[in-house]
C-alpha cells in the first residue's frame, strides 16, 4: 500500500471550493424546501472530474477530496434544522450574536469530526456496518464511466439553472418572469411548483418514498381539508401540522428504538466504544461549553453526554439505513436540558435562567455534530474500502467543516435578512420544516392530542416496517411542493422500466437538477442582500 500523502494542495483547494458551493446550496435547499439528500455521490463525481482535469490522481486522493467537499451539507442541515426555530417563535435576528453562532456551529462541527473518528474503527472495521451512501461513493470511484456521468450532471445543472433564472428573474419591468413559479388549475384547487430541484430530489428518493410522500399530501388535500372546510374548522392547518409533526417525530424515535434493540440482540464482546482519548476530549469540551455558554458544569456535562450518545445513534442509523434524523437529536437535547434546568431541588447543580436562544444554540451543537458524524462515517466507509489513511480523511473533514461553518454563519444572516415569511405554510419564502418541528417543542405544541396521535401512528407503523418515513412530510408540506417531488419519483419508476442504464444516467442528471437551482437561489439571495445593505 502506498504511503504517499493524499491530502495534497490540489485536494484541499478543490475540496474547499466544493465545500463552499455544497454548503451554500445545501443550506438554501433545506431552508427553502425542507429536504436534504446526501451529497456524497455528487461530490465524489465532482472530485473525480476536477482532479482528473488538473492532474493524474488515484482513488485515495479522490476520497480525501470528496471528504472535504461533503462536510458542508450536513453542517448546513444541523443549523437549518434548529436555529430558524428561534425566529419562528418571534425572536429577532439582531439578538443572535454572529460570533457566538459561528462558535456554536464550529463546536458542533469539531465534535462531530472527533467523535466519528473515535467511533470509526468499531462501526466500520469491527461491526462492518453497511453505510449504503459510502458504498455508493466507493462504487463511483471505481467506475469507468465518470466522464459520461459528469456530462449528465452538467446537463442537469445547465437545465436547472436556465429554468430557475427564467422563473425567478424579471427581465422586463412591469411583466412577470417568463416561467411562472406556480402552475394552477382554473379553480385554483391544484397547483404545481415549477422546480427542477424538487423533481431531482424525487428522482433520487425513488418511487416508493415519493409515493408515500404523495399519499400523505393527498390525504390532507383531497379528504381532510375539504372535510374541514365543510365543517367550518378554522384551525385545520394547525391541527394538520401538529399531526404531521407527530408522525415525523414518532418515526424518528422508532429509528432510535429499533437501533437500540438491534444492538442489544447482536452485542458480542468487542472493544469498548469509549476510550481514554474520548475521556480527555470530553473534559476539555465540558470546560469549553461551561465557559462559552455560562452553563453550570453539570449541565455542560449532560449536554456532552447527549451529544456522544446521539452521535453514536446517528452513526448506527446512517450505517444501517442511510437515515439520520437530526431534528430528533435537537428535540431530545431541548427536552432534557430544559427539564434539568428547572429542577429547583437541585438548585446548586442545575438551576439556571435559560433563554429560548440558548436552548437553540445547544440544540444546534448536537444537531451539527450528529449530522456531520453521519456524513464523515459515510466517507470513512468509502475510504476504508480504498485503503485511504483515516487520519487524512479526518483532517480533510475538519478543513471542510471549518470552511462550511464560516459560509453558513454568513449565509444565515443573509437569508434571514431577506426572507421574513418563514415556516411551513402557504406562500412561505422559506419552509424551514424541521426547525419548525423543533420550535414547537419550546412553547408547547398546539392541539397536542393530534401531535401525540401522529407520534403513536408514526412510531407504530415504523416499528411494523411500513415505509412511512416520508408520509409525515407529505402531511406537513404544502401540496404544491409535493407534486414535483412525486413527479420525480414517477419518472424514476418509468425510466427504470424502460432501461436500467438510462435510469442510472438520469440519476446523474437529477443530481445536476438539484445543484443548479440551489446555486441560483443562493446567488439571487446574495444580490438581494447587497441591495438591502447599500440601498
Q: Quick one: angle between helices 276-293 and 297-321, nearest 10?
A: 120
Distance CA 163, CA 194 (A): 9
Cell (9 digits) for 360: 437553540
The confidence score (pLDDT) of residue 492 equals 92
Sign, CA dihedral 238-242-248-252, equals positive
Partners of 430 in the β-ladder? 422
- Is residue 3's pLDDT more than 60? no
Torsional class of 232: left (φ above 0), alpha (ψ -120 to 50), beta (otherwise):
left
Per the listing, cell 500500500 goes with 1
Beta strand 182-184 with 191-193: parallel, antiparallel or unpaired? antiparallel
Q: Which pLDDT tens digit goes with each residue over 133-190?
A: 777 677 667 766 667 777 887 888 889 889 988 888 877 777 778 888 888 887 778 8
Q: Please give the C-alpha separations between residue 156 and each of 46, 92, 475, 508, in angstroms, as whole numbers.
A: 14, 38, 29, 8
Lowest-confidence pick of 90-104, 139-153, 398-412: 139-153
The confidence score (pLDDT) of residue 278 equals 64
- Is residue 274's pLDDT more than 60? no
Q: Please give the C-alpha separations between residue 114 and each of 117, 311, 369, 393, in angstroms, as whole numbers.
A: 5, 11, 9, 12
The confidence score (pLDDT) of residue 175 equals 75
Q: Which residue has the higher pLDDT, 509 or 347?
A: 509
Distance CA 519, CA 18 (A): 12
Q: Which pLDDT tens digit goes with each residue over 213-245?
A: 899 889 988 998 889 889 888 788 778 877 877
Does residue 261 contact residue 253 with C-beta atoms inside 8 Å? no
Cell (9 digits) for 32: 427553502
Partners of 192 in the β-ladder? 183
**212 closest CA partner among 473, 490, 470, 483:** 470
C-beta atoms surrounding 183 within 10 Å: 13
State the average pLDDT over residues 353-365.
88
Distance CA 22, CA 32 (A): 15
DSSP 175: S
Lowest-confidence pick of 208-222, 283-297, 322-336: 322-336
Which of helix, strand or coil describes residue 430? strand
Q: pLDDT band at residue 532, thresholds of 50, 70 and 90?
A: low
State the average pLDDT over residues 41-61.
80
Q: Which pLDDT tens digit goes with each residue over 31-41?
A: 887 767 677 77
Does residue 153 contact residue 512 with C-beta atoms inside 8 Å? yes
Lowest-confidence pick of 3-12, 282-291, 340-349: 340-349
Q: Which residue has the higher pLDDT, 241 or 380?
A: 380
Counting every residue, how long is the chain? 535
Which of helix, strand or coil describes residue 454? helix
Cα angle: 174, vertex 177, 178; to 5 degrees:
125
Q: pLDDT band at residue 131, thresholds of 50, 70 and 90?
A: confident
- Is residue 272's pLDDT more than 50? no
The confidence score (pLDDT) of residue 219 equals 92
Q: pLDDT band at residue 348, thresholds of 50, 70 and 90?
A: very low
Distance CA 183, CA 320 (A): 40
| Distance in Å from the first CA to the final CA of the chain | 59
Q: Please give the C-alpha separations between residue 107 and each of 264, 285, 298, 310, 405, in angstroms, as whole numbers.
A: 31, 9, 18, 15, 9
- Secondary structure in 3-state letters for 261-306: HHHHHHCCCCCCCCCHHHHHHHHHHHHHHHHHHCCCHHHHHHHHHH
- Is residue 509's pLDDT more than 80? yes
State the average pLDDT over residues 104-123.
90
Q: Which residue has the higher pLDDT, 5 or 123?
A: 123
**197 closest CA partner among 41, 372, 47, 37:** 37
For residue 323, the surrounding DSSP H or E stretch is none
Q: Which pLDDT tens digit goes with each residue over 454-483?
A: 889 988 988 887 777 678 778 877 888 889
- Give the helix ranges, DSSP H, for 55-187: 59-80, 84-88, 98-120, 132-141, 146-168
pTM for the whole thing?
0.76
Amino acid at each position: 500500500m502506498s504511503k504517499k500523502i493524499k491530502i495534497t494542495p490540489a485536494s484541499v483547494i478543490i475540496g474547499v471550493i466544493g465545500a463552499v458551493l455544497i454548503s451554500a446550496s445545501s443550506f438554501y435547499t433545506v431552508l427553502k424546501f425542507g429536504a436534504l439528500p446526501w451529497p456524497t455521490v455528487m461530490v465524489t463525481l465532482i472530485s473525480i472530474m476536477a482532479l482528473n482535469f488538473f492532474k493524474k490522481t488515484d482513488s485515495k486522493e479522490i476520497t480525501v477530496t470528496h471528504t472535504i467537499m461533503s462536510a458542508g451539507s450536513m453542517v448546513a442541515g444541523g443549523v437549518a434544522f434548529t436555529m430558524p426555530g428561534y425566529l419562528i417563535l418571534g425572536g429577532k435576528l439582531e439578538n443572535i450574536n454572529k460570533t457566538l453562532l459561528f462558535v456554536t456551529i464550529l463546536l458542533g462541527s469539531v465534535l462531530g469530526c472527533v467523535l466519528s473518528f473515535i467511533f470509526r474503527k468499531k462501526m466500520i472495521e469491527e461491526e462492518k456496518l453497511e453505510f449504503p451512501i459510502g458504498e455508493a461513493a466507493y462504487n463511483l470511484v471505481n467506475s469507468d464511466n465518470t466522464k459520461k456521468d459528469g456530462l449528465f450532471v452538467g446537463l442537469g445543472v445547465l437545465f436547472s439553472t436556465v429554468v430557475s433564472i427564467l422563473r425567478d428573474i424579471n427581465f422586463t419591468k412591469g411583466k412577470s418572469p417568463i416561467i411562472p413559479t406556480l402552475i394552477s388549475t382554473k379553480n385554483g384547487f391544484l397547483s404545481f411548483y415549477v422546480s427542477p430541484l424538487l423533481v431531482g430530489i424525487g428522482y433520487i428518493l425513488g418511487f416508493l418514498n415519493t409515493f408515500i410522500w404523495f399519499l400523505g399530501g393527498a390525504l390532507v388535500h383531497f379528504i381532510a381539508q375539504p372535510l374541514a372546510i365543510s365543517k367550518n374548522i378554522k384551525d385545520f392547518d394547525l391541527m394538520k401540522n401538529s399531526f404531521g409533526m407527530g408522525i415525523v417525530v414518532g418515526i424518528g424515535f422508532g429509528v432510535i428504538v429499533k437501533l437500540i434493540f438491534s444492538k442489544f440482540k447482536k452485542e458480542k464482546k468487542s472493544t469498548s466504544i469509549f476510550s481514554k482519548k474520548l475521556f480527555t476530549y470530553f473534559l476539555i469540551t465540558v470546560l469549553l461549553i461551561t465557559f462559552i455558554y455560562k452553563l453550570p458544569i453539570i449541565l455542560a456535562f449532560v449536554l456532552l453526554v447527549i451529544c456522544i450518545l446521539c452521535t453514536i445513534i446517528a452513526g448506527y442509523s446512517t450505517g444501517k439505513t442511510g437515515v439520520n434524523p437530526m431534528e430528533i437529536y435537537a428535540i431530545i437535547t431541548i427536552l432534557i436540558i430544559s427539564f434539568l434546568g428547572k429542577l429547583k431541588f437541585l438548585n446548586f447543580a442545575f438551576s439556571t435562567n435559560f433563554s429560548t436562544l440558548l436552548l437553540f444554540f445547544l440544540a444546534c451543537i448536537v444537531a451539527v455534530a450528529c449530522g456531520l458524524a453521519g456524513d464523515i462515517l459515510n466517507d470513512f466507509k468509502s475510504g476504508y474500502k480504498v485503503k485511504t489513511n483515516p487520519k487524512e480523511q479526518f483532517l480533510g473533514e475538519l478543513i471542510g467543516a471549518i470552511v462550511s461553518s464560516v459560509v453558513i454563519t454568513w449565509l444565515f444572516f443573509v437569508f434571514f435578512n431577506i426572507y421574513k415569511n418563514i415556516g411551513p405554510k402557504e406562500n412561505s419564502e422559506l419552509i424551514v420544516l424541521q426547525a419548525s418541528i423543533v420550535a414547537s417543542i419550546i412553547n408547547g405544541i398546539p392541539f397536542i392530542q393530534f401531535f401525540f396521535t401522529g407520534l403513536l401512528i408514526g412510531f407504530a407503523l415504523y416499528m411494523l416496517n411500513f415505509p412511512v418515513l416520508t408520509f409525515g412530510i407529505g402531511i406537513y408540506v404544502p401540496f404544491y411542493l409535493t407534486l414535483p417531488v412525486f413527479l420525480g419519483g414517477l419518472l424514476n419508476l418509468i425510466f427504470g422500466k424502460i432501461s436500467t442504464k438510462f435510469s442510472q444516467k438520469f440519476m446523474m442528471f437529477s443530481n445536476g437538477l438539484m445543484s443548479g437551482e440551489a446555486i441560483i437561489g443562493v446567488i439571487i439571495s446574495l444580490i438581494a442582500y447587497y441591495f438591502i445593505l447599500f440601498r
